[in-house]
Every structure is written in C-alpha cells, then in structure tokens.
Structure 1
Amino acid sequence: MPTVAQYLAHRLHALGARHLFGVPGDFSLSLLDSVLETGLLEWVGSPNELNAGYAADAYARTRGIGAVVTTFGVGELSAIDAVAGAYAENVPLVQITGAPATGRDGLLLHHTLGDGDLGRFARAYGEVTAAGAVLTHEDPCARIDEVLAVALRELRPVYLAIPADVALAPAERHGATTVVPTPSDDGRGSVPRFRQAARELLDGAHSAAVIAGHLVERTRSRDAFRALVAAADSPVVTLTSGRGAIDADHPLFAGVYVGEIGAKRAVLAVETADVLLEIGTLMSDAVTGVFSHRDDPAHTVHLGLRTARVAGQEFAVPFATGLSVLTALLADTALHRELPDLPPGGPVAGETLDQDALWAVLERRLPAGSRLVTDIGTTFWGAAGITLPPGVDVVAQPLWSSIGYALPATLGCALAAPGRRPVLVIGDGAAQMTVQELGNLARRTDAVVVVVDNSGYTIERALQSPQAVYNDVASWDWTALVRAFAPGVDLRTGSPTTPAELDAELVEALADDRMTLLHVRLDALDVPAGLQGLADRVHGR
C-alpha cells in the first residue's frame, strides 16, 4: 500500500505537476524519500527555500499547480515570502513542510523557538494561504484532498505540514480523486440578476473597451476571453499583469493600459468608451500608474474570480460563468467599434546602448511563443513599453513586487513548458538577491538571461533620492560569475556595448540551445519611458 507521502505525489501528478522544488532538511527526509520512490515527480533542489518558492510559483502559473518542500521552521519561514507573493498574485502553490513526528509537542526540538510550541509556523502560514492542515493519523489523505481542492478553486497557495511518521503511514484512500466543485449559481438568482444588470448597462451604450487582467491567464481562460473579444468587437487593452490574454497582432488590440502613463492608443480607447469591461483585473497601484486609470464604477462591468460587479452592484457569479453570460450578451449588442487610429509607439534604438536601445532590440528579437520574464524594477517598466510577438506573455510579480523573484521564476517557467524558451531581463540589484539559481538555470535550461547592470536600484533612484548610497550595490562580473556557478557547463556569455552588438548577441543566443547570459551596462539614472512616467506621476509632474 502506498504511503501518505506517495498519495500526495500521485495527487500532485494527477493535477499536472511533474517537478517538485525545494531544499531538504532532517524533518523532511522521510517524506522526500517516499515521494521520490514513486518516480512521478522530479526533484529540483534550490540553493535556498525562497528561490525554490519563486520557481514553484512560476511553474504553477504555467501548469496550474506547483509545489515546494521545505523542512520545519527555518525552511518554511525562508519560503514564506514566496508563498505570500503567490497569494497576492492568485497562484495555486502548495507549501509542503516536513514536520517533526506526532506526539512531540512540548519537546525542545531544534528549528523551534525553544518553547515546545510546534504550531507557531503553521499559524504564521494561516495569514498567507487559503487553507492549511497539519496532518495527523486521522484521515490524512482526505485532508490532502480538501486542501488541494481549495488551491485549485481559489487560485491561492495552501499549506500542508506532514509529520515524519504520518508521511510514512499507509494511505487509505489510494483510489480516491481530488474533486474540485464547479462553481454555479448561489441559489439566490445571482446569475440572472447579473445578466439583467449587464444587459441594461450595455443597451444604453454605443461603445465599449475591454480591459484584460491577470485572471484571464490564471484561470486558463484565454480561449473564452477571445470569444468575448470577438463578440464585443471593441478595442481591447491589457494591464501589465495580463499581457498573455491576447496577442498584440490581434486587430482589436489597442495596447497596454497603465492609466495615464500607458500607451496613448490604450488610454484613448479606455477614456472614450461608454462602458468598460474589466475581465479579471485587479487595479493595484503598480498596474494603474499609481491609480491614474479611469475609475468609473457606474459604467463598468467587472468580472472577478468569485464575484461580478455591474455599475457598482455585486453579484455572486464566478469568473467562468460571468465570461459566458457576458459573451452571449455582447453577441446580441450592437456596439460601435472605435479603435483609436494611433501608432502603437515604443522605444527606438539610437547609436548608444541605453534603455531605449535595449528594449527596441528586444522587441525586434523576441521569438514568437517565448516567455519574457522580468523583475519589478526598470525591466518591468521597459517590458511594458514594447509590442510582444504572437504567443509571448510576461511573467512578473507586479502586485507583490518582491525583488529577485524573476531569476528563480525563469527556472520554473523553463521546466513547466520546455518548448517555450524563457528570456529573462533583470536588473543587477534584483539578480544579486537570488543569484544562486544561475547554477540551475545553466545546467537545466536554455534560458537567455540579460542582466541590466545599472549599478543598483535604479527604480528607487527614479522615485526618490537618486544619489542615495542605499541604492548602490557592489559591482559584479556577471559573465565570470555564471561560469563560477556552473563549472564545466557549456554555456554562452557576452558583454555587448552597442545596440548592434546586443542585436548580434541575441541573434546568436536564440539560434543556440545553450543557456546564455549577456551582461549589459547602462547608466544608473537611465530609465525606460514607463518608469519615467511613473516617477513623474509620483512627484506630481
């Protein structure tokens, strides 16, 4: 009979996971041995738990589930920042803690605070997860299923602490499956009332704009969203958090909307529409240009994960149902198509290698179907200003904004979708946070990594105190460093100093199947247009 740990492995595999990220520790060793005996999940060891959590987060964004294993106390607390980010960003990540065997409460064990309280860290995780369980010998498999179902239903991280003896106990429910109930009407007529309210708002409108947010991708609703777009026959914009919702070459795409600092075409599309259709959006400060977006509840239909709003009135309508209802309504509504007649704009490369040139070259060379991974600093704002090729999305963390996320996230992206090559563009300050993962990237992936060396935290310089010493970081030789992290690995490095050299390096890198790292030095005060717009907005300019 399989063990409880093996039962969990079977569940994760059935839900789409093929890898398991983490760092071992003595309390998790029996758990790991038993899980890996199944051969269902490939172990991906990280240099630290935070990196493992970031990688598992990006993996879950692609495959619909991701899991990270840590040891009790020191390990799980190291990963809690990554789990909190998954909560903020609607990512179904499973934090698995190898815990001390049952019956040890009160003992002065290592990895504790020396007071015998073994429940502290599970309580801490209660603040950043949608569900959790400390398994016991009382029906542990049922608890696993309950917790996993919440992760999938709520698109939030969950917590499983598995004591060493419970991990090896016989699983009594080997033939069971994890059942995720399909959301439906709440029995109070919410769906018909939503339909009627949306119909009344649309009937009084001549034009609309569709705004795509992150939930389109998290819920794997791209096809349903594109059906809605076809029915609306109206301009479509994406937030920076939802750029994979629709390709930039779609005839109705009007650009990336970041409030007043976004693409002018996108701003015009939103500002001139009679009705706004917000599909899976979360209008946080970073994606709205510090709340410079059109905030117009009276003329907005908003679809969230569990609720929908029409003209400020809320209905208990789940996302998929809301999409279906709204699509049907739009198919019967005669909206006037008003796509702003403006060029998309974007950076232009000059003779000097600066932010404009960097992003102009990247815009030209990014392959269709690849994945652009950025951190929340200058690279996030540079990416916001370019037009993406078909099939390219952006993996970033705009709400939680934990610096250093992108480098381990690139590993998660690469392992989750081997056919989609990740291109990581990351500042030197962010890269120094999680640099150890370069070893795994070099050994296990064909990622193209562009380190933007601008001597520290340029996004902070743009927002305040540009000459402050706290924004400086030590200067590193990135091409030597990646070879030190991956001795004997056949990889490519380069240090282009002109736009033409960067272009040539990218062409060669993308024609090669080795991991490539390009070290690009830029001025510490050089910022992309989007970040300059954000800074101007912050300072009231």
Structure 2
Amino acid sequence: MSPSDIRSRALHEPIPVAQYLFARLQQLGIRSIHGVPGDFNLTALDYIPKAGLKWVGSVNELNAAYAADGYARALGISALITTFGVGELSALNGIAGAYSEHVPLVHIVGCPSTVSQKNGMLLHHTLGNGDFNVFSSMASNVACDVARLNRPAEIADQIDHALRECWIRSRPVYLLLPTDMVEREVEGERLKQKIDLREPENDQEREDYVVDVVLRSLYEAKRAVVLVDACAIRHRVVREVREFVDKTGLPVFVTPMGKGGVNETCEQYGGVYAGTGSLPAVKDRVESSDLVLSVGSLKSDFNTAGFSYKTSVLKTVDFHSDSCKVRYSEYPGVGMKGVLKKLTERVDVGKLKREPGPEVVNEVPKPEGKAEKEEDIITHKYFWPRVGEYLKEKDVVVTETGTANFGIWETKFPANVMGVTQILWGSIGWSVGAAQGAALATKDAGDDRRTILFVGDGSFQLTAQEVTTMIRHKLRVTIFLIYNEGFTIERFIHGMEAEYNDVVRWKYTEIPEVFGAKDVRKFVIKTRDELEKLLSDKEFNDSDGLQFVEMWMPKDDAPRALKLTAKESAKTNAQLE
C-alpha cells in the first residue's frame, strides 16, 4: 500500500483537490471563473461545474485577467485559470494591474506534474532549462501569496491561507496546481467551516490612542473635510466612511480613483479633488481646509493631476488598511476599519466647529452649449456633464485610460452608481475586459444593473475580442466607443500629429455582428443633436442587451483635467534629475 493510500484512508471525507478549491471559491461568493483552457489545466476545469460554478471562456489570457479584475471590483473577489508558462505570462499584465490597484483576484495556474518537475523534463511551455519555478517566481512580485500545491498533506491549508490573504489584503494570490495533484484527495470535512475572512482586530489600547489623537485634531479644526480614495473602496470601508460623514455632517470629496465610493447625491458631497485638475471651487475648498481626513489614499500621478496636491502633511490624517498617520506621527498596525468605526461611535458632534466660508456641494459643470455659428460637434466639455443626466441609479460605469478616465471627473453620478476605472496601472484596453467582468458579476449577483463602457478607439482595438464574451453570456452592456482617430492621451503628452499616435479606422459598429451577435443595437453618432436624441430614447435607456455606439469627437479635443495632467506628465517625463 502506497503512502498516499494510507493517507487517504485517514481522511473523514476525502475529496479531490480541485473539488475542494472550487468549493472554497464558491463559498467566497464567486459564481463564474474566467480563463483559457490549456493542457495543464484541463482536468481541473472538469470540476468547475461540479462546484456549481460557471466557466466563462475568455478569448485570451490578457482579456481574461482584465475581466477577472472587473468581476472582482463589482462582486468583491474573482478567480482566473490559465495554463503554465505561455498562458500565465499572457495574463501577467492584467494581474499586475490588479495588484497595483488592490484588487482581490485568485490566479490558478495548471502546471506539469510533480514527477515531471522533479525529473526536469524538457516539456512544452517551459524555457527548456528544467526550471519549473521561474514563472511562479515572476508572479511572486505581483501576488501577496504564492502557493505551490505539491504536497497533498499541506494543500488544503495552503488554499485556505491563500484565499484569506487574497481577501484580507485585497490583492492577487497565485496557486500553482500540478496535473497529478488535481485529483489527489484532501479533507472535505473542512468545507463545513468557512474560511475566516474577518480582518485582524487592532490592539485596542493602540486603537483607542489613535482615535483620541484624531478626535483632538478634529475638535480643533474649523474647516475639516473628508477625502475618499481608492483603498477605501478596495478595503471595504465605504460603509464606515458613510456613517462617519452622516453623523458629523463634514463635507466629503473623492479622488478620481475614489469616484463611486461616496453617494454623490448626499448633501455633504463636494466633488472630485485632484489638485490642479479639480474644478476651481473644489480645489479652493479642499486646499483651504485646516484638516483633511484622507481615507485610503493612492497618490499616483494621474490620481493627483501630476502630483499637484496642495495639502499639507501638518493638516492631514491618513487612514490606511494597515496603518494610520496623524500629521507626522505614524501608527503602523492600526487599521482604518476599526478606527473609523470607533471615531463614529465616540465623536461628539457638539464639539465640531464650523467656520463660515464657501462650501462646495455637488458642483459639476452644465453641458456646454453651442456657440453661435459653431459646428454641431460633440466636445468633451459638453459630453461628460451630459452623461450625468443619462446615468441611472445603480449603473456600473467603466471608463478607459485616456479621455474617459479624465472626463468622468465632471460627471455627476446618481446614487449607488459603481465607478470602475484603472488610473494607477493605466493599461490601455483594460476597460473592455473589465466591463465584461463587471457586467457578469452583477448578473451573477442577480442584480439588474446597466453596465456602461466608455472607451476610445485606440484602446478598444487592443481588446475588442472581449465583445465576444459579452455576446456569449448575454450581458447587459452599452459601449460608447469614442472615435477620435487614435491615442488622444498620448497626443497631449507628446506627439499631437505623430504617426505613432494614429490607428487604422475600423468599421466599429460591424464588430459585434462579426463576433456573432444577432440582436445588437448599433448607432453611429456624429452630432450633438443625434446624441441628444439617442440619450433621450426610452428603448435605448432600458435596453437589456448589447448596444454599441460609435461616437465621433475631434482628435485634438480632450477633457480639461486630461490636458492639465498630460502637461504635468510631460514635465515629469522630461526631468533629468
């Protein structure tokens, strides 16, 4: 009798490794798994339906990673399966984006058997050097946990630990699953006890001290504001922030990456703050405050309009998932969730001061009117404020790196709109996959939301194939393709007329039908009048299928914030020291 047989007999409820893994994913709320089949993961894929999960079937690994990113942002966590080497490396760009933007994603890689690895066999999908850890070593730089599932006695513990790390730290994890481990047995009885996803509690004495320090600063302040950034969303403290703002009545602003993290219809909402990229009144209000309560900040160049913040460390309290900082005093290990809850419980509203001064409440520009004799073109200055009038409660709004990411700053969201955007990583083409993933996530959750994608023609050409997956799963997606003849954000950084910023003109509205769509609604919109008619059309607004809008905009036009940020980016790129 082999040692593995002896071990299996000791198990109370023996089940295959793959069945255990997928059951755990199902317990986390995942209902669909993105990926591409390959010979090293095929046996594992057979277990997906057995766990009550759905195989998405993406067109390539990069798109699958982008889609898994969008799925996780909408549902909370996601899973992606690729094959060893060629598949996982294709997905690595998308995984890196999820890592940089704190998105919890489980990356499962089917790899050669442990016997093949031990013998250093010269297999396909390898570098031919007998090193089977080279790709997992690469992945370790963009994963918060790497688990090589090589020993049956340890696999269940490895899986549970990795999934907990993925959720708690809100970042990707990497699971390497050899072909001969897929059907090895582990203890199924463990599944009766779900993984403990509770975040580690702060040391209460340290937490109380930080709360007292913050309250002292808050009671001294006369013009305090709250600034919500990306990690408030990623690390799940949106509710805590809302309760704090509701109780204190403090003005609340968002950064570009934090858009969607605050109800923009609430009385205290002031707008999007991004340094010089902000609307003037928003900039004045935030920068004139004597205390900024910053929640989950990610102060990247595009999120701050070229590092143009004018807020002082001496007037800032930073809340993060693993630390807090009050002015120059840092408190590592004191996470923001517990601190924010306790702040709300303990704050004495009667002690809060209000110095007379301008308050900014929901200030966004009105859609720009046409000047006399002006052509009826669709400009960014007109379009993005107009989008706010088109949106509905609970919409999922996905914006691509480029004009859409910056234009959406000047769009007012109705209540409960989910903003999905990638500003720090900024991989062009990401939004098409992310829109598919977000739309599928809302469908899996039984939520009848519209998913609306705003993407430029240049970016769309990188990942257009993902429209196929939208069609395959009958997703409710409206695509606004901004036809402006190429890479506009690059034009404004450098090379307005350069050939490398041009793209070939496609017959965009024919693409869905080429990919198999039978009932897609498609439109070519070249004027404001045509756009107004479309946005006012009830059938267009209520559509529950795929819609494709090719919208013409001038190639030399861009949102105000993009122009400012591009100018700062060009300066940064040119710095010698």
If the length of structure 1 is used for normalisation, what is the TM-score? 0.96
Contact 1:241 1:287 in 2 (8 A): yes
**Which residue identity does 2:97 align to in structure 1?**
G
Please give the residue correspondences for 1:392-541 in structure 2 after superposition, counting only pairs within 5 Å: 392-418=417-443, 419-443=448-472, 444-487=474-517, 489-506=518-535, 507=537, 508-538=539-569
CA gap of 1:182–1:356, structure 2 versus 1, over 3 A, is closer
* Distance apart, 1:77 and its partner CA: 0.5
Please give the residue correspondences for 1:240-389 in structure 2 after superposition, counting only pairs within 5 Å: 240-315=256-331, 316-332=333-349, 333-336=351-354, 340=359, 343-350=363-370, 351-389=376-414
Contact 2:270 2:360 in 1 (8 A): no
Question: 2:495 and 2:388 mapped to 1: Cα distance?
Answer: 31
**Which residue identity does 1:368 align to in structure 2?**
E
* Distance apart, 1:280 and its partner CA: 1.4
**Which residue identity does 1:424 align to in structure 2?**
L
* 1:131 and 2:148 are equivalent in the alignment: no
CA gap of 1:116–1:148, structure 2 versus 1, over 3 A, is same
**Corresponding residue of 2:7:** none
Stretches of structure 1 lacking an aligned partner (at least 5 in a row): none
Contact 2:18 2:44 in 1 (8 A): yes
Question: 1:10 and 1:516 mapped to 2: Cα distance?
Answer: 35
Contact 2:385 2:412 in 1 (8 A): no
Question: 2:369 and 2:157 mapped to 1: Cα distance?
Answer: 58
Q: Which of 170, 173, 182 is 2:199 aligned to?
A: 182
Question: 1:169 and 1:538 mapped to 2: Cα distance?
Answer: 53
Question: 1:21 and 1:459 mapped to 2: Cα distance?
Answer: 30
Please give the residue correspondences for 1:163-242 in structure 2 after superposition, counting only pairs within 5 Å: 163-176=178-191, 177-186=194-203, 189-242=205-258
Contact 2:378 2:527 in 1 (8 A): yes
1:434-484 CA-to-partner distances (Å, cap 9, x unmatched) read: 110011123321200011011110001011121111111111110112210
Stretches of structure 2 lacking an aligned partner (at least 5 in a row): 1-13, 371-375, 572-577
Contact 2:59 2:465 in 1 (8 A): yes
**Corresponding residue of 2:67:** 55
3-state SS in 2 of match to 1:277: strand
Contact 2:218 2:352 in 1 (8 A): no
**Which residue identity does 1:80 align to in structure 2?**
L
Question: 1:345 and 1:114 mapped to 2: Cα distance?
Answer: 59
CA gap of 1:199–1:456, structure 2 versus 1, over 3 A, is same
Which shows bigger deviation, 166-175 or 345-354? 345-354
Contact 2:364 2:385 in 1 (8 A): no
CA gap of 1:439–1:524, structure 2 versus 1, over 3 A, is same
Contact 1:365 1:503 in 2 (8 A): no
Question: 1:281 and 1:310 mapped to 2: Cα distance?
Answer: 14
**Which residue identity does 1:112 align to in structure 2?**
T
* Distance apart, 1:520 and its partner CA: 1.1
1:211-244 CA-to-partner distances (Å, cap 9, x unmatched) read: 0011222233322211111233221110111112
* Distance apart, 1:537 and its partner CA: 4.0
Contact 1:447 1:515 in 2 (8 A): yes
Question: 1:509 and 1:92 mapped to 2: Cα distance?
Answer: 34
3-state SS in 2 of match to 1:237: strand
1:58-108 CA-to-partner distances (Å, cap 9, x unmatched) read: 111122210000000000011111111111111110000011111212100
Contact 2:512 2:520 in 1 (8 A): no
Aligned Cα root-mean-square deviation (Å): 1.7
**Which residue identity does 2:128 align to in structure 1?**
G
Question: 1:520 and 1:198 mapped to 2: Cα distance?
Answer: 48
* Distance apart, 1:339 and its partner CA: 5.2
Contact 2:478 2:548 in 1 (8 A): yes
Question: 2:146 and 2:288 mapped to 1: Cα distance?
Answer: 46
Question: 1:9 and 1:493 mapped to 2: Cα distance?
Answer: 38
**Which residue identity does 2:114 align to in structure 1?**
T
Question: 1:279 and 1:341 mapped to 2: Cα distance?
Answer: 19
1:473-507 CA-to-partner distances (Å, cap 9, x unmatched) read: 111110112210124x2110010111121232233
Contact 1:346 1:386 in 2 (8 A): no
Question: 1:341 and 1:55 mapped to 2: Cα distance?
Answer: 36
Which shows bigger deviation, 195-204 or 21-30? 195-204
Aligned residues: 537
Contact 2:479 2:548 in 1 (8 A): yes
3-state SS in 2 of match to 1:287: helix
Please give the residue correspondences for 1:73-84 in structure 2 after superposition, counting only pairs within 5 Å: 73-84=85-96
* 1:119 and 2:133 are equivalent in the alignment: yes
If the length of structure 2 is used for normalisation, what is the TM-score? 0.90
CA gap of 1:431–1:185, structure 2 versus 1, over 3 A, is same
Q: Which of 7, 14, 36 is 1:23 aligned to?
A: 36
Q: Which of 107, 117, 125 is 2:121 aligned to?
A: 107
Contact 1:349 1:361 in 2 (8 A): no
Which shows bigger deviation, 61-70 or 342-351? 342-351
* 1:160 and 2:175 are equivalent in the alignment: yes
Question: 1:64 and 1:281 mapped to 2: Cα distance?
Answer: 19
Question: 1:279 and 1:108 mapped to 2: Cα distance?
Answer: 51
3-state SS in 2 of match to 1:217: helix
3-state SS in 2 of match to 1:45: coil
Contact 1:361 1:503 in 2 (8 A): no
